[in-house]
Structure 1
């Protein structure tokens, strides 16, 4: 869901020791994945974001604005649903790190959990079930999809 410039700033901030060539390669990989996703008709993507991600000013305002507009366009494509956890909500289970519950057309669900070091694919049915519960808990504390989109739009207007 990241624009090229947003991905560059995020990668540079998150891995400050990375060499410029490594940053460029990581950005190119993300941009390629984003392009493939945008051009495809599936999968559907349901995203829960902490409100601080929307509001934090760690990039230039132009890059931040472009990123939020990109998120709105993805939501308008109807393949992506974004729900935002209000900034004042404390102690949600997403604080332990990002994860994806992946439901393929065929085969069992899996989870991809991320860390600063590497990602991990989780296939144990019991563990996948726990992540589904975590995702449900996250959705339970968010604004609804329409309210979340409106919050992002208002943030764009009042930058």
Structure 2
């Protein structure tokens, strides 16, 4: 299952199973201390932050990255003098990402251009929560509930890039069959298409669909991720079943850029891609 990375969809798991960071454990201890200071049990506190008791427990134990709205509600509920918001600013966002993907994730967060071609599943940046949860639920070997929640939190947290970096140019080329597979069922697919259409409407996002029938295809060697750094260097990333390869060799990066450029001419135009998605959305009704 791919990483939910630029090129793939779901953060890689298996050997790269995430573990809580020191900063997450420290935040959890601070949250627990303020909760106890307020005289609230987890069961009493959970409704105030609109999250379940198991989620609160996972955050306090440093196993789950705290969602921003949980931090804000906890700050207000516990009258924490700004301590929780301050601690949250120093949290590492790496837990939930496989070890081999973390270097790329750091670069991705500062890229000025990001290219993604995917033929296996919807890229992580475009997934809905329900679609991502389906991928994690079906992961082999099976993941525990806490592992699923940690990876899901990391996946959704990465998606902030699309909204927090409006000056980054995003390009996605997706195979048509990714939507026709109906991963998770009809309802999840319909919601997924709606979400992808919404993202595609953003000014800094280009979305193209590679049709099922295409006699010439430059991407037959697999997914491609490439990005341009702030100092205008190009780097790439390729991912397999249980590993990822960070590519810095200029010749290899150039080859991947060449293939991606050819695919942009082979895929449907942006307008035609949106039209096709709308047709597929109607077909799932």
Q: TM-score, normalised by structure 2?
A: 0.52
What is aligned with 2:88? Answer: none
The structure 1 segments of at least 4 consecutive aligned residues displaced by more than 4 Å after TM superposition are: none
Uncovered stretches (5+) of structure 1, i.e. residues with no partner? none
The counterpart of 1:115, out of the listed 240, 253, 261, is: 240
Cα RMSD for the two superposed structures: 1.7
- Displacement, 1:107? 4.1
Contact 2:137-2:148 within 8 A present in 1 as well: yes
Separation in 1, partners of 2:129, 2:180? 19
Q: Does 1:19 align with 2:167?
A: no
Structure 1 range deviating more: 58-67 or 17-26? 17-26
Distance 1:133 1:36, change over 3 A: closer
The counterpart of 1:39, out of the listed 159, 164, 169, is: 164
Separation in 2, partners of 1:88, 1:44? 28
Q: Does 1:2 align with 2:124?
A: no
- Displacement, 1:36? 3.7
Q: TM-score, normalised by structure 1?
A: 0.90
- Displacement, 1:63? 1.1
SS in 1 for 2:159: helix
Contact 2:209-2:267 within 8 A present in 1 as well: yes
- Displacement, 1:27? 1.5
Distance 1:102 1:83, change over 3 A: same
Separation in 2, partners of 1:155, 1:73? 15
Distance 1:36 1:46, change over 3 A: closer
More helix as a share of residues: 1
The counterpart of 2:181, out of the listed 53, 56, 68, is: 56
The counterpart of 2:259, out of the listed 115, 130, 134, is: 134
SS in 2 for 1:74: helix
Contact 2:131-2:183 within 8 A present in 1 as well: no
Correspondence 1:27-106 to 2 at 5 A:
27-90=152-215, 92-106=217-231
Aligned residues: 158
